[in-house]
């Protein structure tokens, strides 16, 4: 993927003990062992822990991400070695500097461990925990773990205290949201009262009784306004809608609206291909589309005038008609691999209206008994699936073929770009937070379809930002110089696959429709997903 790693220059400050937020450069890496430029003279001791950082610089700006955690295992006078536990889909070679966790640093005037031993710290931690002082308990458990890194009891108690501290922080935030909800309700601002209540429920489901009381009052006094809000915010509330309906004592949502955690309803077996005389699922469907539409559950024109068809319960595809399109960037814009701009002719095809979601991918995982990918604790449901390799995406397409009898696949690079064209999917206007999830606005993915103003001329959503999207093609930086004019499919071989669209972490230059990038097929990242394509034959 287009990125340049950069080193951060840091002045070394000699000190007896490390201070809070102390940073050290990574000066060497071999496998999962990092060498850092601080050692015993700077207060580094074995057992210390912290976060490993990578810094990427792109035309749209510089961004830093956490790629793992480290533990110091060996210390010299001015250097130290640390082992790294790397996040999935990330590369230890990208490590550029480390940050020692404040809570794991030695206390002023006290070494990281002391002669009282791990057992003594465990006892003191238990006493603090019984007294309700989770932070002091955590400090003792961490001291025990620093003195005895393999102590499973200390490790588990550390985890328990961290969870307790996090729960307390969530509870405090929950109460704050409810106060704000009450204040808005008293002012008659039902919209923000409801939104604060919804956010409180999302943050702290354990407080549902307090949420139920407020929702009951709102339903009694402002039933129409509440119903309108539930309809207006259907996408944003998808992850907690079932909980809200339960608290309102409503009927559970349909299978298409089931919460992310619910196992999806089994779909019917693929039906035999209909006879040519079979009635299409929507009136006025052009003859050339009837073969596909006949297998759809419903079909209609969207707000842009393009045909849409729904398959397998909730997978919506948009038809892109045949025709000529210019792909690539004009002179003096974009990178070298985007030139020359050239015309290609593409047959008609269908492309996913949105990126494939966790809800859709989790159904595939459940039926094929494969491990579900991580969601980074951002939420599943209608967020785009992440941590999927190119082969994972291809396997999903094959599974969907079996369910529908249709040849679902990944789009070619040219198909993707045609669906996305203008300069940006919505036109030439520079992107902002109303048009796309980019530039680390949210520091995570957003539910698909959350940016209707950012739709392409065909009504395809989220082609800019949110997650990079796998395509079918191998990447060749010079391919546009030799691209076939009709239905180009990329080179026959390569080492990386083309990805398109940019992500939540990228700036404006990387969410342009013509921007090309690539990833190794085995990569699984939290900035990378995919959308579907389907031929019209």
How confident is the model over 77-113, as pLDDT tens digits? 888 999 988 765 567 888 888 888 754 444 343 344 4
Pairing status of strand 533-535 against strand 349-352: antiparallel
Distance, in Å, from the CA atom of 350 to the CA atom of 263, rounded to the nearest integer, reads 28
Q: Which of 59-73, 77-91, 422-436, 511-525 has the lowest mean pLDDT?
A: 59-73
Query: What is the pLDDT averaged over residues 144-172?
Result: 79
Asked whether residue 378 carries a pLDDT value surpassing 60, the answer given is yes
Distance, in Å, from the CA atom of 398 to the CA atom of 516, rounded to the nearest integer, reads 26
Pairing status of strand 528-530 against strand 468-474: parallel
Both 41 and 82 in a single domain?
yes
In this prediction, residue 2 carries a pLDDT of 52
Both 478 and 390 in a single domain?
yes
Contact 525, 384 (CB under 8 A): no
Give residue 59's pLDDT band: very low, low, confident or very high (50, 70, 90): low
> End of a domain among 253, 274, 307?
253
> End of a domain among 70, 104, 138?
104
Contact 68, 503 (CB under 8 A): no
CB atoms within 10 A of CB 5: 12
In this prediction, residue 1 carries a pLDDT of 63
Residue 226 within a domain: yes
Contact 466, 511 (CB under 8 A): no
Asked whether residue 14 carries a pLDDT value surpassing 50, the answer given is no
Question: Pick from 265, 253, 250: which is nearest to 219 by CA?
Answer: 250
pLDDT-above-90 percentage for the chain = 48
Residue 276 within a domain: no
Asked whether residue 42 carries a pLDDT value surpassing 90, the answer given is no
Both 316 and 445 in a single domain?
yes
Residue 486 within a domain: yes
Asked whether residue 514 carries a pLDDT value surpassing 90, the answer given is yes
Please name the residue that has the structure tokens 């009694």.
220
Q: Which residue has the higher pLDDT, 459 or 114?
A: 459
pTM above 0.85, yes or no: no
Distance, in Å, from the CA atom of 230 to the CA atom of 234, rounded to the nearest integer, reads 6
Both 327 and 416 in a single domain?
yes
In this prediction, residue 91 carries a pLDDT of 78
Q: ∠ CA(397), CA(448), CA(416), 5° rounding?
A: 55
Task: Provide the number of structural domains found in the chain.
Answer: 3
In this prediction, residue 102 carries a pLDDT of 53
Both 67 and 120 in a single domain?
no
Both 70 and 31 in a single domain?
yes
In this prediction, residue 371 carries a pLDDT of 94
In this prediction, residue 283 carries a pLDDT of 57
pLDDT in tens, 443-495: 999 999 999 999 999 999 999 999 999 999 999 999 999 999 999 999 999 99
Distance, in Å, from the CA atom of 172 to the CA atom of 134, rounded to the nearest integer, reads 15
Asked whether residue 258 carries a pLDDT value surpassing 90, the answer given is no
Both 227 and 345 in a single domain?
no
Average pLDDT for the chain = 83
Question: Pick from 52, 145, 149: which is nearest to 101 by CA?
Answer: 52
- Residue 171 makes CB contacts below 8 A (sequence gap 6+) with 204, 206, 207
Query: What is the pLDDT averaged over residues 191-202?
Result: 92
Query: What is the pLDDT averaged over residues 391-398?
Result: 96
Burial of 89 (0-12, 13-18, 19+ CB in 10 A): buried
Alpha helices in 95-133 (DSSP H): 117-130
Give residue 36's pLDDT band: very low, low, confident or very high (50, 70, 90): very high
Both 291 and 383 in a single domain?
yes
> End of a domain among 78, 104, 130?
104
Q: ∠ CA(493), CA(527), CA(96), 5° rounding?
A: 95
Residue 262 within a domain: no
Q: Which of 48-62, 251-265, 459-473 has the lowest mean pLDDT?
A: 251-265
Contact 113, 77 (CB under 8 A): no
Both 244 and 339 in a single domain?
no
pLDDT in tens, 413-447: 999 999 998 899 999 999 999 999 999 889 999 99
CATH number of the CATH domain containing 45: 2.40.10.410
Distance, in Å, from the CA atom of 256 to the CA atom of 131, rounded to the nearest integer, reads 47
Residue 175 within a domain: yes
Number of residues in the chain: 537
Contact 143, 114 (CB under 8 A): yes
Both 151 and 55 in a single domain?
no
Asked whether residue 254 carries a pLDDT value surpassing 70, the answer given is no
Residue 99 within a domain: yes
Domain residue limits at 208:
113-253
Residue 342 within a domain: yes
In this prediction, residue 383 carries a pLDDT of 97
Compute CA distances 242 → 198, 222, 230, 304, 461, whole Å: 12, 20, 12, 31, 25
Question: Pick from 416, 374, 395: which is nearest to 517 by CA?
Answer: 416
Query: What is the pLDDT averaged over residues 42-59?
Result: 80
Contact 354, 371 (CB under 8 A): no
Residue 272 within a domain: no
User: Which secondary structure element, helix H or strand E, spans residue 523, and what is its range?
Assistant: none
Both 333 and 368 in a single domain?
yes
Both 117 and 185 in a single domain?
yes
In this prediction, residue 360 carries a pLDDT of 97
Asked whether residue 521 carries a pLDDT value surpassing 70, the answer given is yes
């Amino acid at each position: 993927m287009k990125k340049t790693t950069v080193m951060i220059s840091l002045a070394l400050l000699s000190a007896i003990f490390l201070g809070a937020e102390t940073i050290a450069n990574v000066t060497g890496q071999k496998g999962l062992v990092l060498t850092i430029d601080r050692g015993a003279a700077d207060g580094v001791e074995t057992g210390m822990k912290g976060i490993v950082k990578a810094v990427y610089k792109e035309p749209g700006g510089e961004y830093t991400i956490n790629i793992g955690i480290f533990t110091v295992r060996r210390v010299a006078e001015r250097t130290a070695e640390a082992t790294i536990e790397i996040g999935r889909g990330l590369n230890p070679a990208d490590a550029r500097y480390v940050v020692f966790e404040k809570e794991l640093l030695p206390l002023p005037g006290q070494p990281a461990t002391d002669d009282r031993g791990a057992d003594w710290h465990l006892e003191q931690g238990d006493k603090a925990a019984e007294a309700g002082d989770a932070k002091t308990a955590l400090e003792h458990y961490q001291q025990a773990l620093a003195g005895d890194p393999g102590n499973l009891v200390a490790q588990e108690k550390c985890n328990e205290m961290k969870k307790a501290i996090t729960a307390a922080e969530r509870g405090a935030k929950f109460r704050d949201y409810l106060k704000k909800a009450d204040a808005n309700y008293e002012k008659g601002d039902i919209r923000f009262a409801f939104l604060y209540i919804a956010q409180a429920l999302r943050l702290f489901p354990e407080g549902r009784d307090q949420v139920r009381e407020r929702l009951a009052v709102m339903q009694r006094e402002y039933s129409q306004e509440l119903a309108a809000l539930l309809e207006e915010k259907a996408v944003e509330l998808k992850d907690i809608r079932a909980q809200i309906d339960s608290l309102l004592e409503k009927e559970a949502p349909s299978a298409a609206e089931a919460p992310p955690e619910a196992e999806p309803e089994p779909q019917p077996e693929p039906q035999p291909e209909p006879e040519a005389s079979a009635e299409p699922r929507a009136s006025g469907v052009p003859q050339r589309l009837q073969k596909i539409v006949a297998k759809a559950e419903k079909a209609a024109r969207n707000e842009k005038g393009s045909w849409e068809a729904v398959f397998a319960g909730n997978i919506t595809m948009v038809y892109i008609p045949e025709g000529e399109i210019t792909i690539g960037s004009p002179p003096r814009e974009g990178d070298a691999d985007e030139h020359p701009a050239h015309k290609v002719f593409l047959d008609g095809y269908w492309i996913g209206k949105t990126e494939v979601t966790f809800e859709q991918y989790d159904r595939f995982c459940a039926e094929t008994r494969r491990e579900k990918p991580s969601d980074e604790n951002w939420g599943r449901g209608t967020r785009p699936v992440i941590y999927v390799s190119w082969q994972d995406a291809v396997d999903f397409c094959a599974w969907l073929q079996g369910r529908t009898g249709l040849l679902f696949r990944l789009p070619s690079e040219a198909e993707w770009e045609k669906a996305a064209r203008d300069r940006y999917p919505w036109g030439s206007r520079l992107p902002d937070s109303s048009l796309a999830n980019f530039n680390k606005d949210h520091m995570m993915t957003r539910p698909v379809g959350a940016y209707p103003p950012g739709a392409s001329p065909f009504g395809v959503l989220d082609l800019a930002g949110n997650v990079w999207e796998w395509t079918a093609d191998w990447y060749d930086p010079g391919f546009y110089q030799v691209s076939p004019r009709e239905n180009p499919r990329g080179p026959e071989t390569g080492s990386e696959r083309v990805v398109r669209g940019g992500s939540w972490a990228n700036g404006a230059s990387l969410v342009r429709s013509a921007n090309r990038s690539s990833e190794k097929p085995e990569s699984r990242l939290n900035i990378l997903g995919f959308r579907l394509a389907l031929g019209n034959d």
